[in-house]
Amino acid sequence: MKTITIEPQQVCSRQMILDIDDDGVIVHAKVIGGCMGNLQGLCRLIEGMKSEDVVKKLTGIKCRGSRTGETSCPDQLAKGLANL
């Protein structure tokens, strides 16, 4: 198992910490900062999923609350996972 840390850009969350097993399955996820209720829900939903499936589902989601309006916390999570 490995632990990765993602530093999201242009959104209100500050850090995403993921434990991923050797098969690429997300075992635990935690987000620091951001819209806590939504991000806790997101973390629970992605736990047990393969990281490649999370990338496919979350890439391209936009949030008007992001600094540019062109990304979101889920999108930043997907981008971080895609760069593994």
* pTM over 0.85, yes/no: yes
The residue type of 32 is I
What pLDDT does residue 65 have?
87
What pLDDT does residue 55 have?
98
What pLDDT does residue 84 have?
84
What pLDDT does residue 46 have?
98
Residue 15 and residue 46 in contact, taking contact as beta carbons nearer than 8 Å = no
pLDDT along the chain (84 residues), means of 10: 97 97 98 95 98 98 93 97 92
What pLDDT does residue 62 have?
96
Tokens matching residue 21: 């097993």
What is the fold of 2-82? Enolase-like; domain 1 (3.30.390)
Could you tell me which of 80, 81, 61 has the C-alpha nearest to residue 71? 61
